[in-house]
Structures are given as C-alpha cells and as structure tokens.
C-alpha cells in the first residue's frame, strides 16, 4: 500500500470538529485564532467551542490557572470576538473581574468561580458592582468552590455575608452549588435563629451545599424551596438537637437526594423519617457514619425501612458505617452474615467489611463500584476491588476479625489492594502491620500518595530505617509527612521521601 502524507487542512470540517471537541475549548480558541487561516479561524469560533469557556482546571486539591500571557490575549483579542456566544464561564476569582468586564456576554447564564471567598460577595455581588448588570439577572446556574481560612469566621457571620447575600443578589437562580476545595475551606450554612423566609426561592431546582446540622437540612425542606428537585447536602456539625417545628410533609418534587453525614447519633430518630418523605425519589446517595446504635445497618434494614417506600427509585449509591458496642454475650456477625441480608437488592452489587475490637464492632456496607472519595476506620480486611475514587483513607487501630483472632492484614494469596487516586493516608494510630500493608508496593498500590500520617517508630520499622526497596515506591511522591515525634531529618529520610 502506498502511504501518503495527510495534513490537518486536508481533513474535512466534520473530522476537524471531532478532533477539536477532544481538546479544551480555551486551547482551541487560543491555538487557532489569528493563525492566518480563515477556515480554521471560523471553525474555532463555532458555538461548540465558545458556549463554555473554562479558564481553570482542577485535579484533587490543586487548581491550575491559565497563564497571564494567555489570559491577556483572551481579554484583548479573542473574547471581544466570541463573547456573544458564551453561555458558561469557569473562572478563578482573581481573574473574573478582568474577564467579565471585557464584554456584555448577552447569553451568559452559568458562572463557576474557583477560589471563592466572602470578600467576593461584598466586593462584586452588589448593586454598585461594575458587572452587576450581567450577574444579577442573567445568572441562573452559579457554582462556587470556596478556598479560604474559616477558622476565625463564625457560621452566623458566614450565613449573613455569603449565603443570604447570594440569595438576595441573584434573583433568578435555578441551580446553586457552594462547596469547598476541602472540608475546612467552606463554612457550612447555619439557619439557627433565622426566620423561615431566609434562604427561600420559588425558582431553585438544584442545590448543592454544606450545612451545619441536620436541623438545617430539615429547615430547607420545610417548604421554602418548593421547586427543589435535586438536593445534595453534606452535614458538618456533630450536634444532634431534637426535631422541632419543622414541616414534615412529603416532598413530591424531590427526585434526587444525596446526604453525607459523619458521626450521626440520630439516624433512626431523624434520618429515617426524613427519607420516608421522599416517595418520588429516583436517585438516592447516602454516605453515613452512624454511632449509638444497638445493631448494624444491613440490607434487610435498608430495604424495609427505606427502599420499600421509594417505588420510583432507580439508583441507590451508598456507604454506611455503623459502630456498635459488643461484648462476649453478643453473637458476632461476620461479613458473610451481613452480605446475606442484601438478597433483596439483587439488582445491585454490594460489599461488606466487619471488624471487631475490644468492646466495639464496626460494619461497613457499600454499593459497588465504590463511588466516594473517603474511607474512615477501615480495619484489616478488604474486598478484592479497586477503590478508584478514594483520595483519603484513615485506618483504625489493630482489629480482631470475625473469628476473634488476630490476623495479618495481608495474605499472599489475595490480590493487591488498589487505591489509584488516594492522596491522603492516616495510619498514625494503626498497628505496624497496617503500615506494612499500605506502604509495601506488592500489597497496596498507591501511585498518588502525597500526604502520610504515621507513627515514626512504625515507619522506621517498615522501611528498615529508610533503606527498604519494597516500600520505597509508595513513599516517592509524599509531600507532607506528619509525625507526632520531633524529627531532625536525616539524609536517609530525604532520599527516601524525595518529594518532601
């Protein structure tokens, strides 16, 4: 066969558009504008490349910004020519004023801000703002990724300066998302002592938000958000106040609900009644850590107490950890015992982990594939699966298995445990066997580990005083090594952790 050279311009427009769609829209516009080729310049300004302009990209907790030189050219040359097509802008808060003042953006209705803080509200989301004519009426979809020190900001102050301010300023919101780059970078909303008209809307259909307590969740579902169909909520506080004065009517418009709540002691008293109000739900996501319960949450409980009351449910994604008190008079259930209780969920794959220590039992049940980024208090048994999305893992102290005997957490006959996206590992309180399990490259795959909390003595033992090759690979990318002991770094430590 005779081979001929084919150049980019030899391809038809349909093929070129397919190729360009694989690239970042900003890259396409920057690369193809003003290259002295009218055909490519026209293609680059097609609506598929100008509808959504993403000037930042995010990977875990790192934010990558468009370089200043590229941004300057966009503002001076490219945006003035394509602004009439732009419907969505994804911006870093430090560059948003420069970009938003370039043009009118008559069709802009989606705005996503990275590195958002409360000063943005007071400085830009006001009637005196230079671009209030764009944001106040046009924006219907607003996403804010917070990144600020909230240690000195009270929840009441943040509620007034951010949450209430946003609802007052943006008149036509249908979608609102306010989240943090991490748990400690976004103050949750507290509605305590605020009137029932606070944070109300007749237009909002989707809300993604962090709340201070479960009571705040019940308040938002008391009728003030009548059109809400998707509600994604993370409860941060550990307060467990009794339910008072809330509207407990059914929620017929709610079709998608996600609840993340750690260290919950009112699961049966408040979470179950809340879920029973959602009979029209089609998608349910639960990430719960339950305390103060007499028995484990298992498949039978989930089916009888929740799922049977949701006839339209199509997707159920969950991770539920239950911690109970046990003694020798209680029958110790095995992982297999718990697995058998999910026989009515035949349409869904489920995994279980059950471990016991002195006086305590912990049961983890979760849907597969595992869909969450965090695992806490895992013991020394792992199902043979890949935890593709887990970025944070906390390992509990040495646990006893179902047969009440101590077993090493690694068995040579088992497959390697894979956490391909894990960035943070806490084995500080765990036995040396767990440190061995996670740092030994033949036992656990941790290609992205950047933060390690560990007991120094255990670390020395497992790494053979920072000389062992078998544990070197999982330590190579660690940037933060957190130890309780004061450590004068030796040259061996620096060589072993070259990314510190």
DSSP letters of 235-269?
E-----PPP-S------TT--EEEEEEEEES-III
Residue corresponding to tokens 């008079």: 329
pLDDT of amino acid 101: 87
Report the C-alpha gap between 155 and 192 in whole angstroms. 10
Helix (H, G, I), strand (E, B) or coil at 127: coil
Report the C-alpha gap between 147 and 166 in whole angstroms. 17
Give the start-to-end residue ranges of the domains of the chain: 373-500
Report the C-alpha gap between 277 and 218 in whole angstroms. 11
C-alpha 270: how far from chain center: 24
Q: Among 17-31, 127-141, 169-183, which range has the highest average pLDDT?
A: 169-183
pLDDT of amino acid 292: 83
Tell me: pLDDT of 412 over 60: no
In the predicted model, what is the mean pLDDT of the chain?
A: 83
pLDDT of amino acid 403: 36
Is the CB of residue 428 less than 8 Å from the CB of residue 484? yes
pLDDT of amino acid 49: 64
User: 87 or 181, which is more confident?
Assistant: 87
Tell me: pLDDT of 133 over 80: no
pLDDT of amino acid 406: 33
Residue corresponding to tokens 């958002």: 116
Structure tokens at 326: 């046990």
pLDDT of amino acid 400: 44
C-alpha 427: how far from chain center: 22
Report the C-alpha gap between 129 and 170 in whole angstroms. 13
pLDDT digits (tens, 9 = 90+) for 281-325: 999 999 999 988 999 999 999 999 999 999 999 999 999 999 998
Helix (H, G, I), strand (E, B) or coil at 317: strand
pLDDT digits (tens, 9 = 90+) for 54-77: 888 654 455 667 777 788 888 888
Residue 409 banded pLDDT, cuts 50, 70, 90? very low
Is the CB of residue 313 less than 8 Å from the CB of residue 284? yes
Tell me: pLDDT of 149 over 70: yes
Query: Maximum distance among all alpha carbons in the chain?
Result: 82
pLDDT of amino acid 10: 67
Residue corresponding to tokens 């004061």: 486
- For the segment 175-186, the average pLDDT, to the nearest whole number, is 85
Tell me: pLDDT of 271 over 90: yes
pLDDT of amino acid 167: 87
Report the C-alpha gap between 282 and 249 in whole angstroms. 18
Residue 236 banded pLDDT, cuts 50, 70, 90? confident
User: 68 or 349, which is more confident?
Assistant: 349
- Helical residues (DSSP H) of 170-312, grouped into ranges: 214-220, 272-275, 299-305
Residue 408 banded pLDDT, cuts 50, 70, 90? very low
Residue 212 banded pLDDT, cuts 50, 70, 90? very high
Q: What pTM was estimated for this model as a whole?
A: 0.85
pLDDT of amino acid 30: 67
Q: Which residues contact 95 (CB under 8 A, 6 or more apart)?
A: 55, 65, 66, 71
DSSP letters of 411-464?
-TTSPPEE-TT--EEEETTS-HHHHHHHH-TTTEE-TT--EEEE-HHHHHHHTT
Report the C-alpha gap between 477 and 109 in whole angstroms. 40
- For the segment 424-430, the average pLDDT, to the nearest whole number, is 88
């Amino acid at each position: 066969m005779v081979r001929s050279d084919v150049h980019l311009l030899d391809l038809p427009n349909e093929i070129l558009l397919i190729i360009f769609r694989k690239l970042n829209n900003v890259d396409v516009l920057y690369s193809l504008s003003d290259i002295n080729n009218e055909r490519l310049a026209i293609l680059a300004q097609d609506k598929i490349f100008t509808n959504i302009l993403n000037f930042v990209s995010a990977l875990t907790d790192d934010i990558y910004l468009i370089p200043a030189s590229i941004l300057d050219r966009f503002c001076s040359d490219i945006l003035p020519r394509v602004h009439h097509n732009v419907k969505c802008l994804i911006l870093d808060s430090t560059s948003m004023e420069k970009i938003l003042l370039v043009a009118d953006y008559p069709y802009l209705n989606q705005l996503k801000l990275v590195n958002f803080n409360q000063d943005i509200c007071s400085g830009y989301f006001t009637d005196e703002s230079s671009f209030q004519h764009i944001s106040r009426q046009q924006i219907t979809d607003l996403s804010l990724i917070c990144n600020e020190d909230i240690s000195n900001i009270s929840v009441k102050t943040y509620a007034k300066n951010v949450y209430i301010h946003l609802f007052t300023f943006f008149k036509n919101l249908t979608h609102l998302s306010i989240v943090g780059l991490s748990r400690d970078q976004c103050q949750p909303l507290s509605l305590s002592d605020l009137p029932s008209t606070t944070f109300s809307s007749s237009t909002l259909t989707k809300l993604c938000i962090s709340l201070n307590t479960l009571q705040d969740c019940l308040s938002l579902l008391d009728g003030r958000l009548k059109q809400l169909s998707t509600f994604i909520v993370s409860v941060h506080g550990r307060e467990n106040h009794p339910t008072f004065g809330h509207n407990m009517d059914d929620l017929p418009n709610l079709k998608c609900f996600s609840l993340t709540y750690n260290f919950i002691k009112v699961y049966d008293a408040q979470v179950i009644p809340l879920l029973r109000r959602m009979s029209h739900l089609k998608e349910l996501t639960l990430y719960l850590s339950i305390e103060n319960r007499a028995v484990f949450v298992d498949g039978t409980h989930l089916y009888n107490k929740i799922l049977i009351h949701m006839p339209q449910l199509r997707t159920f994604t969950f991770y539920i950890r239950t911690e109970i008190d046990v003694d020798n008079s209680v029958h110790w259930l095995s992982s297999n015992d718990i697995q058998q209780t999910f026989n009515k969920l035949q349409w869904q794959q489920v995994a279980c982990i059950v471990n016991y220590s002195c006086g305590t039992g912990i049961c983890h049940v979760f849907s597969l594939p595992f869909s969450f980024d965090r695992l806490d208090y895992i013991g020394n048994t792992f199902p043979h699966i890949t935890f593709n999305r887990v970025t944070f893992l906390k390992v509990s102290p040495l646990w006893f298995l179902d047969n009440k005997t101590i077993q090493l957490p690694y068995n040579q006959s088992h497959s390697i445990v894979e956490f391909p996206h894990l960035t943070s590992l806490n084995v500080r309180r765990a036995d040396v066997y767990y440190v061995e399990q996670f740092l030994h490259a033949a036992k656990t795959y941790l290609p992205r580990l950047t933060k390690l909390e560990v007991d120094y003595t255990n670390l020395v033992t497992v790494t053979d005083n920072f000389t062992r090759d078998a544990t070197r690979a999982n330590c190579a990318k660690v940037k933060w090594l957190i130890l309780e002991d004061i450590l004068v770094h030796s040259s061996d430590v620096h060589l072993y952790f070259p990314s510190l």
